[in-house]
Amino acid sequence: MESQLALIEQSFSSRYSGHVREALDELPDGFIITDPSLCGHPIVFASRGFLKMCGYSREEVIGQNARIFQGPGTNRRSVMEIREAIREERTVQLNLLNYRKDGTPFWMLFHMNPVFSKEDGRAIHFVAVQVPLSERGRHRSYNSGANFCEDIMFGSCRREVCSDSAREVDCASEINNSVLDSDNAGANVEEPCEANEYEKRRATSAIDNIISILTHYSELTGRLVCRRKCCYYGTSLGSSITISLGRIKQSFVLTDMHLPDMPIVYASDFFLKLTGYSRHEVLGRNCRFLSGMDTDPLTLFHIKESIHNERHCTVRILNYRKDGSSFWNLLHISPVRSASGKNAYFVGVQIEEGTFNNREQGGLSAEMRHRSTVGAVRVALRTLSMGAGSSGSQ
């Protein structure tokens, strides 16, 4: 636990200068900042406005995953949309039902934006702004012909945020008996509360202000951040190496061990076909983006340990395509040495379980295909090693 808290502290202290937290706390908005590179994608900052809105203390929130604010009535499709946005490192805005510490639900406009490192293009943080939906917006939806269960939740939403105490009493009395008769009424409601244009502009403005502060305080440390990915990978390999790697008829990626978070610097056409991603969506990202909600953490830990010890391993892991569909991946990873004799890259070879046919592959087993691909990559990279040795750095 102490090591995790130290990493959370470092998430800010290594990137931004001294008083960034104080500057962020001066903003009136409710928002959190999370770090996708840390185990469990924890919250590393929570604003005063957010804590007041949810009823938690900062100590109760920092280090937790944002799923602690979800409950039985939270729309699962909305949760999956947020997870997809995180995996694809893009902005998302939607209406979401969350829960306060005391268990009461409230509707909000959820607006999330990634923050990228200018050094290597990694998504280092996600900023998530939460704007409570207004009484007026909920009142429109309440009278729009929703079903009985939705009416209950609308009343509940209004009761939680209503600033007029008299109306709050009226709202509560209207729905009190219905709520008592249906403990799970909120669980069947699908986003009945809609954000108005003012609330959407407020969320966008809050994101702009937060990222502006992060950008300013990153400039003071020289480790600049930006709101859009601005770095691309693969060019350092050289065109001749890329052509050689392109001749390998197998799904695989190449990651650079010497760059932060070991980003992908090459992805084969077969890998793109298998996962459904385009090349620009893959380069610069860590391979963990293929993992999902049902991926075994122990398998991920085994991979992490093998990488840390710079040794090969083979695992069966549940991965996810861009469209959200899952597949069992017979994954083999292996280090690749540079001309100096030190490991410089990791090769990750993927074979989808259930589509493999020995006869179609010339009688090669999955293990032999793994080894053959790694060997071909090593041969292709020898040209890069020799070129670096003869021509020097550019």
pLDDT band at 101 (very low <50, low <70, confident <90, very high): very high
Residue 158 pLDDT greater than 80, yes or no: no
**Token pair in block for residue 370:** 């793994």
At 337 the pLDDT is 82
Q: At what angle do helices 239-246 and 366-391 cross, to 10 degrees?
A: 170
Residue 16 pLDDT greater than 50, yes or no: yes
pLDDT > 90 fraction of the chain, expressed in percent and rounded:
51
Closest CA relative to residue 124, chosen from 234, 215, 225: 225
Q: Phi then psi for 334, rounded to 5 degrees? A: -155, 140
**If you classify domain 235-391 with CATH, what class do you get?**
alpha beta
When pLDDT is averaged across residues 70-98 and rounded to a whole number, the result is: 92
At 57 the pLDDT is 96
At 150 the pLDDT is 40
pLDDT band at 135 (very low <50, low <70, confident <90, very high): low
pLDDT band at 392 (very low <50, low <70, confident <90, very high): very low
Is pTM beyond 0.75 here? Answer: no
137-151, 254-268, 371-385 — most confident range: 254-268
Residue 383 pLDDT greater than 70, yes or no: no
Closest CA relative to residue 106, chosen from 117, 95, 119: 95
Instruction: Report the sign of the C-alpha dihedral through residues 143, 97, 23, 218, in that order.
Output: negative
State the distance between the two ends of the chain, measured CA to CA, in whole angstroms: 44
Mean pLDDT lowest for which of 176-185, 197-206, 233-242?
Answer: 176-185
The residue among 179 and 19 whose pLDDT is bigger is 19
Residue-averaged pLDDT of the chain: 80
**Distance, CA of 114 to CA of 124 (rounded, Å):** 8
For 378, residues 6+ apart whose C-beta sits below 8 A from its C-beta are 336, 337
Closest CA relative to residue 326, chosen from 336, 334, 317, 313: 317
Residue 240 pLDDT greater than 80, yes or no: no
At 193 the pLDDT is 77
76-84-265 Cα angle (round to 5): 160
When pLDDT is averaged across residues 155-167 and rounded to a whole number, the result is: 39
pLDDT band at 23 (very low <50, low <70, confident <90, very high): very high
Mean pLDDT lowest for which of 54-68, 134-148, 221-235?
Answer: 134-148
Closest CA relative to residue 292, chosen from 262, 328, 338: 328
At 202 the pLDDT is 94
Residue 192 pLDDT greater than 70, yes or no: no
Residue 306 pLDDT greater than 70, yes or no: yes
**Cβ–Cβ under 8 Å, residues 241 and 380:** yes
Q: How many CB atoms lie within 10 A of CB 163?
A: 8
Residue 144 pLDDT greater than 50, yes or no: no
Range(s) within the chain of domains with CATH label 3.30.450.20: 2-133+195-226, 235-391
Q: How far is CA 87 from the centre of its chain?
A: 5
Residue 278 CB-density burial (10 A; 0-12 exposed, 13-18 middle, 19+ buried): exposed
Mean pLDDT lowest for which of 23-27, 147-151, 216-220?
Answer: 147-151
**Distance, CA of 254 to CA of 336 (rounded, Å):** 9
Q: Does domain 2-133+195-226 have CATH number 3.40.630.30?
A: no
**Cβ–Cβ under 8 Å, residues 134 and 194:** no
Residue 307 pLDDT greater than 50, yes or no: yes
When pLDDT is averaged across residues 58-83 and rounded to a whole number, the result is: 94
Q: Which amino acid is at 52?
A: K
- The three-state secondary structure class of 108 is strand
